[in-house]
Structure 1
Amino acid sequence: MSAALESVLEATMGSLFRSEEMTLCQLFLQSEAAYACVSELGELGLVQFRDLNPDVNAFQRKFVNEVRRCDEMERKLRYLEKEIKKDGIPMLDTGENPEAPQPREMIDLEATFEKLENELREVNQNAEALKRNFLELTELKHILRKTQVFFDEHLYTITETLGSHYRNPLSFVAGVILRERIPAFERMLWRACRGNVFLRQAEIETPLEDPSTGDQVFKSVFIIFFQGDQLKTRVKKICEGFRATLYPCPEAPADRREMAMGVMTRIEDLNTVLGQTQDHRHRVLVAAAKNIKNWFIKVRKIKAIYHTLNLFNLDVTQKCLIAECWVPVLDIETIQQALRRGTERSGSSVPPILNRMETFEDPPTYNRTNKFTKGFQALIDAYGVASYREMNPAPYTIITFPFLFAVMFGDLGHGMLMFAFAAWMVLKEKPLAAQKTDNEIWNIFFGGRYIIFLMGLFSMYTGLIYNDVFSKSLNLFGSHWEIRNLTSKDVLDNGVLPINPTWDYVGHPYPFGMDPIWQLAENKIIFLNSYKMKISIIFGIIHMLFGVVVGLFNHLYFKRRLNIICEFIPQILFLIFLFFYMTILMFIKWIKYAAPHPINNPDVTTSSFCAPSVLITFINMVLFKSPEEKDTEGTKKNPCDPWMYGGQNGLQMLLVLVALLCIPWMLFAKPFMMMQERKKKHMQDLNTHNTENGDLDGSGAVQAQGQVQGGHKEEEEDMAEVMIHQGIHTIEYVLGSVSHTASYLRLWALSLAHAQLSEVLWNMVLRNGLTQGGGLGGIILWALFAFWATMTVAILVLMEGLSAFLHTLRLHWVEFQSKFYLGQGYSFTPFSFEILLETAQATSEAAD
């Protein structure tokens, strides 16, 4: 019972706080059962195969022909998909996930796709030929109509223009040209023919369809009059150069009318044939659209299976495939069941064999995630994938990330907007996920919906603590301040007054968060600066201490006793004795000192006037400097006590000395202990050698001495590397402790900036609208509110939210994770149909 309980705890807690335990396995599959077994493993998605043929060209592998056949089928499906989208036919997506077809079904799929492609190409070719014929007849119809007007109205003008010496009948050509080419076409005719031609053109009002591209183009009809064969040749070459289409046009009106009637009859017949062709094409595409999604899934699964089989080796009998794969230890039984199902499907009588292998390679890192933890794990993996079985920061990040974000973004109103947006994405999760848009920004927001949800929720909480709602305060419990010793005239003459705790404070604090009276106080910034700066340091030091403690769990798991003694203990002492002690001083100052009050706090020594500065105290502590206890004249003692408690000076000197001793401890202890262990081991090996070979003679002694010297030289090289690494690590930690502590002041700085920007936006925009009266004032208020709301969402929620997000990310990546996280592993990438299909879908959408 206890063993079962321990295994369950390991399965749940272990996978949450550190990566899954992985093992390398060797898999033996019978050739006829390999396809079905790999198919089952692809549906399971828990096996990462290794390439056992790294030196074999992709075109020389066993199943290369099957992969090529899949590529050809996929090409045909993409052609069908393109034609379906061109006609705007919806493709049925039932959400089904069909199993990978058996190899024998590939022939039927290939025949189906071949038939559909040939039929569709034939229909398209016929339709293009019919459309081209239809275009020619339509252009000829317009030519016959327009040229009749040209002949009737402009024949006299042509004769007058070309001169009286042209007595012979004029020749002409008629055709159609793109409308945008008319100006250049006319200039070229005038220059090449030296003004001896007459061009007349008219626009075709309706656009014409280009049969090759399907685009709608605008064209114009033209007719060119000239005389002589030389000009005729020149005119035709210019028409050819401008890609103008020439058509025969009878000179006699009766002939033109007769031709026009024949053209109209042919156009009507073509319309009928074109309609029938389009109907047939539409029926073919509609039938294909019903199955194309499933066809894509089937073909991609077949292709993935054969790609995976190309990673396997064949045994000498050519009847068995051998594979090596990484699998989670907890899922070995599930994988064996999938292999048995695949064997049964294939009808094979030889069961597959899955053997665990011993290896010195680092296994891949596999952290189980769900839709909630996936986003947080992605933040961690973006910095670096955890080393195998290293402590996973994601579970802690689920709480610390939105909380530190909220400390910077704390506003109840802005947090509510963020929370509402994320809640909508969470509630509409399934329909939004089914849309599968390729908008990158939307996909980032939707992928991090649970992160945004928690960030908005925590921001609402910190907004209540700060009592900040769109730069205003909520008076939930009534202010605990009273304005005393002031007349009405004093209040009216001074719009904003500083709060003086000596007279105005009632005596007990506001129940929750900031008192709303601070929103009206002149010294609000001074008070909030001190408060937010201190809590930023407190949160930062606690966060870093937690990171060092998490590193202890890594040392315990990997049994690094030397790291615990030589790294963890001095690191935790250094951080606690210096920086955590500073936070203790903050709490002592908050508890011991209060505003002077004639009733509540009559003692001057415990008033805020006598409260020592924590920063100055910390600096004096590090410099071993005592505070001045006399006034400037040095004649009498200051009534204020420079110490917060008795024995503070001695304790602080002890803390600093221990902290300073931790630096050489971190620097020299580990190399020294490693050197002692190596010497001890070397002596044991030497004694063992002497015992086995008896007493050494002179030559043996010389030989042993040479071996010792050689080993000592190698040991010195190794220890030099250890010393360099330890020196870098020590300097990085000591200096990082100072810089990282200061880095957490960004919590204060961004919180102050966010609050001030929100207040400026309120005062400069919405406040002006609220002071307007009457009907015009309502319109102005409506316009100003729209502008204020837009700027609030764009700047204070989106831009400031992104800024706070990036700063929070830096605090986790650098200040927190640097204390324990190496991030030098590589991800577990299993053979999974689900992942492959999602990747293929995203690639096809991006290509579109």
Structure 2
Amino acid sequence: MGSLFRSEEMTLCQLFLQSEAAYACVSELGELGLVQFRDLNPDVNAFQRKFVNEVRRCDEMERKLRYLEKEIKKDGIPMLDTGESPEAPQPREMIDLEATFEKLENELREVNQNAEALKRNFLELTELKHILRKTQVFFDEQEGGMHTTESMTRALITDESRTGKAMGPVQLGFLEKSQEPEEYLPCFVAGVILRERLPAFERMLWRACRGNVFLRQAMIESPLEDPSNGDKVYKSVFIIFFQGDQLKTRVKKICEGFRATLYPCPEAPTDRREMAMGVMTRIEDLNTVLGQTQDHRHRVLVAAAKNLKNWFVKVRKIKAIYHTLNLFNLDVTQKCLIAECWVPLLDMETIQIALRRGTERSGSSVPPILNRMETFEDPPTYNRTNKFTNAFQALINAYGVASYREMNPAPYTIITFPFLFAVMFGDLGHGAIMALFGLWMVLKEKPLAAKKTDNEIWNIFFGGRYIIFLMGVFSMYTGFVYNDIFSKSLNVFGSSWSINYNTSTVMTNKALQLNPGSNDYSGTPYPIGVDPVWQVSDNKIIFLNAYKMKISIIFGVIHMLFGVFVGLFNHRYFKNKMAIYCEFIPQVIFLVFLFFYMTLLMFIKWTKYSADNENKNLSAGCAPSILITFINMVLFKPPQKGLCNPYMFGGQAGLQKFLVVIALLCVPWMLLAKPLMIMRSRKQAAHQPIAPYSNENGDADGGLNQHNNVQADGTQQAGGAAAGGGGGGHGHENEEMSEIFIHQGIHTIEYVLGSVSHTASYLRLWALSLAHAQLAEVLWNMVLKNGLQQGGWIGGIALWIIFAVWAVLTVGILVLMEGLSAFLHTLRLHWVEFQSKFYAGLGYAFQPFSFEMILESSSNSSED
């Protein structure tokens, strides 16, 4: 938990591994997840690294597994997921895995090809079956006299393009076969076509053949399965009658262009019946073979589904290990791998144990070597979190990762974030809904996490389940203080106000006043929160406005002042005395002497003035305005004297002038003190004599070490004369003085103006709280109140409907939309108003080599 307040101490280490033991050692470090490796080959192409072939083999295995996964999902077969993560297999096991995947892929592809061929054959036989059935109807439509083919080839030829009149039925010129050459004998073709292509197909036939064809078609009622993709398609049977080989060639080309499938169809009824019987027999045989093929495919996929998750984990671990090994360097003997890595200082022993365990697994006799290195590079930031603190840490990291060893705002945010949210969202009922939703996600954490849905909104809610739960609990508390539950009040302790009017006065007057100075008020305030009598008062908004506005300013000033004091811990840790004297002290004085003094006036006003005070100057009517008092104080303007005393206590005028003068003096203090001290320390360093070379204590740098002390954790701390001046040179050794003046001026202006604007920014606590309460009241009066006013059985039914509408609007608008609005405003108050007082956020996150993180990101990407 200590690293939550300040990031872990990190150290840069150099790791020497024997080539035979490197794989097993990296595997152990991946299970541990505490080492961040650096790329020692930044200029080497990815395809020229040592283990690129192994990575390619892993990619190929992963491709085969994805193919198996797709086929398994297509059949709806559940994949076994035990939740366990198998260890990374040894390199020699890769050959067995490759052989297994190759065998499964080839077997499955062969089964799929056979099944597709069988389904295509089945489709053709099914279409032929429908053609034989439908064409039998076409041929049987004409009864008696005329030859069947001749009767079906009689057409209506319309010459509307020329005359606009329809001509009568005309014989297509069929004569006896003995009287006509072969090329003029009547013929027909039959086939099937997609139903949506049929109208265009019919028009094309008519235009291309100039009306010398006769088309009959009938729909196939049941859908047919496309063997290539398994989609259901709807088709129609058609038969085309025409005369001559020329039309035959033209018709076949049109059919080919519209991708219609042609089938042989005998003209004689007996031949058609015999063919139909043969087709049915073949369809039955194909059904049997298809069933056996599907059973075999299903067995193969079921067997693969049992191990697929584990196979994915093994392959991804192997691939991650070889990717990491590609970051290493080889020594000159080609027998040792050299790596550089960032590790937490507290986990050095754990990492050493993992390396020894990996060496033993590999059977190597050469132990690994882990040496600490000194560096001027900034280490990564590593804050240990658990499932509760992780969500709050994510909020901070979204703004910026903390600089190394900088104070972490996350532990304070755990309390201040839900509290400031609750100030805006204070409602006992709405807070209970939010708290119950968060509690449900917390209690059902494991089954909900196991579902691994790809719904982004749900994943955001589930990731912040503890934040939602705390926001709901805190909102219930503030709602109890506001005495607000779905815009109504709870009279738990009994009101401190009483009505002393008689019945007739109350019934005949719509608006009556209760005087706090008379017997209407008992003199004992409501034990906790707001008295429920304010719920029915007409000046409720005026009273709550003044109350919530003042507490918003109070919370804001305390929050900002706390942020400034957190910055003090940063200055003390980094031993930056100059920042304490030149920044922290004037910042605190400026904030306390102006804005904290304003909050003290609020408490003085609350405690000193009351409506039942016998002293007229201390009555409620004589209480001065805090805002006017503060404005007059800053402008050195004396207040207007009237019947009431404009000052709250003796000596207030002189004290206020003193506070403003000191606060104004803090501005040049913040602006000039630090640059001038840096100039002074640089001049002193320039006039110091060069120390003679001395190597008595084994110090090769001699006197130079008086100025630069490199810490073991990799940070550089100013020393010597600069440290004697309070750390004057820290962070500014190579910066021009003009840049230092400009930089300090920007920070001074930002803090002075920010103190004013940030204090006003906390008024959003009051504004959103008032808006939320008014929206709840409007929703109650406009919706649910109408349902409660109706009686009888009709009123009961109406109440059910109106309550459902009210509940949906309450959850959708007041809980979700208003909750999101309050969440975003709270986030802004922490990012800007609070963290700007001490948080730089210029670091980079510690990203260790961790199998858990790699597998999680891989599963998320595969689901997307």
Q: Among residues 154, 159, 166, which one is paired with 1:159 in the alignment?
A: 154
| Gapped regions of structure 1 (runs ≥ 5) | 1-11, 631-637, 690-713
Q: Among residues 720, 738, 743, which one is paired with 2:761 in the alignment?
A: 743
1:577 aligns with 2:584: no
Q: Among residues 213, 219, 235, which one is paired with 1:203 in the alignment?
A: 219
Q: Among residues 609, 613, 618, which one is paired with 2:625 in the alignment?
A: 613
Shift of 1:686: 7.0
Q: In the alignment, is the contact (CA less than 8 A) between 1:497 and 1:522 conserved in 2? A: no
Length, aligned pairs only? 797
Shift of 1:435: 0.8
Q: In the alignment, is the contact (CA less than 8 A) between 2:155 and 2:214 conserved in 1? A: no
Paired position in structure 2 for 1:42: 30
| Identity value in percent | 81
| Pair 1:534–1:214, CA change in 2 (3 A) | same
Q: Among residues 433, 448, 470, which one is paired with 1:432 in the alignment?
A: 448
C-alpha distance in structure 1 between counterparts of 2:64 and 2:734, whole Å: 66
Paired position in structure 2 for 1:240: 256
Paired position in structure 1 for 2:80: 92
Shift of 1:158: 3.7
Paired position in structure 2 for 1:540: 556
What's the CA shift string for 1:375-409, capped at 9, x where partnerless?
00000000000000000000000000000000000
Task: Determine helix, strand or coil for the equivalent of 2:280.
Answer: helix
1:683 aligns with 2:687: yes
Task: Determine helix, strand or coil for the equivalent of 1:159.
Answer: coil
What's the CA shift string for 1:795-841, capped at 9, x where partnerless?
00000000000000000000000000000000000000000000000
What's the CA shift string for 1:332-372, capped at 9, x where partnerless?
00000000000000000000000000000000000000000
What's the CA shift string for 1:650-702, capped at 9, x where partnerless?
0000000000000000000000111111111111147989xxxxxxxxxxxxx
Q: In the alignment, is the contact (CA less than 8 A) between 1:314 and 1:321 conserved in 2? A: yes
1:501 aligns with 2:516: yes
Paired position in structure 2 for 1:294: 310
Paired position in structure 2 for 1:629: 641
Paired position in structure 1 for 2:70: 82
Q: In the alignment, is the contact (CA less than 8 A) between 1:671 and 1:722 conserved in 2? A: yes
C-alpha distance in structure 1 between counterparts of 2:263 and 2:152, whole Å: 24
C-alpha distance in structure 1 between counterparts of 2:433 and 2:511, whole Å: 31
Shift of 1:233: 1.1
C-alpha distance in structure 1 between counterparts of 2:799 and 2:76, whole Å: 46
C-alpha distance in structure 1 between counterparts of 2:365 and 2:171, whole Å: 104
1:127 aligns with 2:134: no
C-alpha distance in structure 2 between counterparts of 1:254 and 1:555, whole Å: 104
Paired position in structure 2 for 1:641: 645
Deviates more, 1:738-747 or 1:233-242: 233-242
Task: Determine helix, strand or coil for the equivalent of 1:161.
Answer: coil
C-alpha distance in structure 1 between counterparts of 2:258 and 2:155, whole Å: 28
Structure 1-normalised TM-score?
0.93
Q: Among residues 523, 531, 541, which one is paired with 2:547 in the alignment?
A: 531
Q: Among residues 507, 515, 536, which one is paired with 1:492 in the alignment?
A: 507
Q: Among residues 446, 464, 469, which one is paired with 2:480 in the alignment?
A: 464
Q: Among residues 674, 678, 683, which one is paired with 1:674 in the alignment?
A: 678
Paired position in structure 2 for 1:834: 852
Paired position in structure 2 for 1:790: 808
C-alpha distance in structure 1 between counterparts of 2:453 and 2:691, whole Å: 72
C-alpha distance in structure 1 between counterparts of 2:38 and 2:734, whole Å: 39
Q: Among residues 382, 401, 420, which one is paired with 1:385 in the alignment?
A: 401
Q: In the alignment, is the contact (CA less than 8 A) between 2:154 and 2:172 conserved in 1? A: no
Q: Which amino acid aligns with 1:333?
A: E
Shift of 1:160: 5.4
C-alpha distance in structure 2 between counterparts of 1:607 and 1:310, whole Å: 80
Paired position in structure 1 for 2:835: 817
| Pair 1:687–1:61, CA change in 2 (3 A) | closer
Q: Which amino acid aligns with 1:622?
A: V
Structure 2-normalised TM-score?
0.91
Paired position in structure 2 for 1:656: 660
Shift of 1:195: 1.2
Shift of 1:16: 2.1
Task: Determine helix, strand or coil for the equivalent of 1:501.
Answer: coil
More helix as a share of residues: 1
Paired position in structure 1 for 2:98: 110
Q: In the alignment, is the contact (CA less than 8 A) between 1:499 and 1:523 conserved in 2? A: no
Q: In the alignment, is the contact (CA less than 8 A) between 1:51 and 1:311 conserved in 2? A: yes
Q: In the alignment, is the contact (CA less than 8 A) between 2:153 and 2:172 conserved in 1? A: no
Q: Among residues 643, 665, 671, which one is paired with 2:669 in the alignment?
A: 665
Q: Which amino acid aligns with 1:274?
A: L
Q: Which amino acid aligns with 1:102?
A: Q
C-alpha distance in structure 1 between counterparts of 2:298 and 2:515, whole Å: 83
Task: Determine helix, strand or coil for the equivalent of 1:166.
Answer: coil
Q: Which amino acid aligns with 1:681?
A: A
C-alpha distance in structure 2 between counterparts of 1:496 and 1:461, whole Å: 32
Deviates more, 1:516-525 or 1:152-161: 152-161
Q: In the alignment, is the contact (CA less than 8 A) between 2:590 and 2:666 conserved in 1? A: yes
| Gapped regions of structure 2 (runs ≥ 5) | 143-147, 158-169, 176-184, 694-731
What's the CA shift string for 1:85-138, capped at 9, x where partnerless?
001100000112100000000000000000000000000000000000000010
Paired position in structure 1 for 2:714: none
Give the 5 Å matches for 1:438-457. Answer: 438-457=454-473
| Pair 1:716–1:438, CA change in 2 (3 A) | closer
C-alpha distance in structure 1 between counterparts of 2:43 and 2:432, whole Å: 58
Q: Which amino acid aligns with 1:122?
A: E
Q: In the alignment, is the contact (CA less than 8 A) between 1:190 and 1:197 conserved in 2? A: yes
What's the CA shift string for 1:485-507, capped at 9, x where partnerless?
x3323322344544432332221
Paired position in structure 2 for 1:779: 797
Q: In the alignment, is the contact (CA less than 8 A) between 2:605 and 2:648 conserved in 1? A: yes
C-alpha root-mean-square deviation of aligned residues, in Å? 1.4
What's the CA shift string for 1:162-191, capped at 9, x where partnerless?
622522452110000001111111111111
Q: Among residues 434, 446, 450, which one is paired with 1:418 in the alignment?
A: 434
C-alpha distance in structure 2 between counterparts of 1:716 and 1:799, whole Å: 50
C-alpha distance in structure 1 between counterparts of 2:547 and 2:140, whole Å: 95
